[in-house]
Amino acid sequence: MKNRKLGSNGLEVSEIGFGCMGLSFGYGPATDNKKAINLIREAFDNGVNFFDTAECYGPFTNELVVGEALKPIRDKVVIATKFGFQDGDSHKPQDSSPTRIRIVIEESLKRLQTDYVDLFYQHRVDPNVPIEDVAGTVKDLIKEGKVKYFGMSEASVETILQAHKIQPVSAIQSEYSMWWREPEKELLPALEELGIGFVPFSPLGKGFLTGTIDMNNKFGSDDFRSIVPRFQEEAIKANQELIEIIKRVAKDKGATPAQIALVWLRYQKSWIVPIPGTTKSERLNENIGSVNVELSVDELNNINNSLSKITILGDRYPKHLQERI
């Protein structure tokens, strides 16, 4: 496992990270704590040193699991967590007030069993708090040694520019994958110009790009995909065209669809670090194995040409959740 630089401020992480959210939140029942801890440590043993969590995952329970798992190896890993919701609850309004940010860092440090957070993201932009105040507060936390690097999630280019003037932003986290390529239009060019790293969440399309989801899948009420337009039967059926493209490439490369989806992201930019999540050891090792898959220029061009000819059906979120996941 090689390292990649996220931004120009010195942050380096493994070329594949681990999105820990699904261990506790969003995809059905929470994983047993012991199993979750073992899985996080297995990821580390296999070269992953970049772990992503947030206070609102649970809420709070995911940070507790991550903290317990990484405590023995704290000096060897990079922990990213997030602030931005009232009371740490993603069902409540955004709250990035300086007072709230300071409360979050103190509580997160306790749950994570550490005295600093490597990467502190604003989870969602708060329209009621000037971004200059947010960046300024994180800047103070960096001076105090409680935070090392500043990040933002799902922020517009304009907002990133405003924040970056106050406190250099090291990483932006937003959704990006073969079936959500919106960041290519404005975000990625801006990040390249500014020297900011990019951390795609849902790099496997919330599981869809693994090729294991079809019209027969039924998601429980505790799995938020049950209300996502792209996971309704009509959309799943229509979007199988994308899966067929990925499967053909995977067969030619002796890889899995998930590995092709991840290696495609890795080849977009040298400063992109996806954070796939899983609750299963075999899927973890499959994801990590993607770093051993190579694509030639012609293969990458052929994939992109195929992708450009299809239209993905369905929104990525229901309208009422656009700002919350």
Active site residues: 57
Torsion region of 254: left, alpha or beta (phi above 0 gives left; psi -120 to 50 gives alpha): left
Facing residues of 83 across strands? Answer: 122
Find the largest Cα–Cα distance for the chain: 54
- For the record, the structure tokens of 269 come out as 């930019």
Geometric angle at alpha carbon 51, from 45 and 56, rounded to 5°: 145
Contact 24, 58 (CB under 8 A): yes
DSSP string, 190-221: HHHHHT-EEEEESTTGGGGGGT---TT----T
Closest CA to 197 of 119, 130, 278: 119
Pairwise CA distance, residues 152 & 149, whole Å = 10
DSSP state of 49: -
CA atoms within 13 A on the CB side of 154: 15
Instruction: Give the H/E segment covering residue 278.
Output: none
Strand partners of residue 175: 201
**Cis amide leading into 59 (omega within 30):** yes
Q: How far apart are CA 170 and CA 217, in angstroms?
A: 38
Task: Decide: 16 and 49 in contact? Cβ < 8 Å.
Answer: no
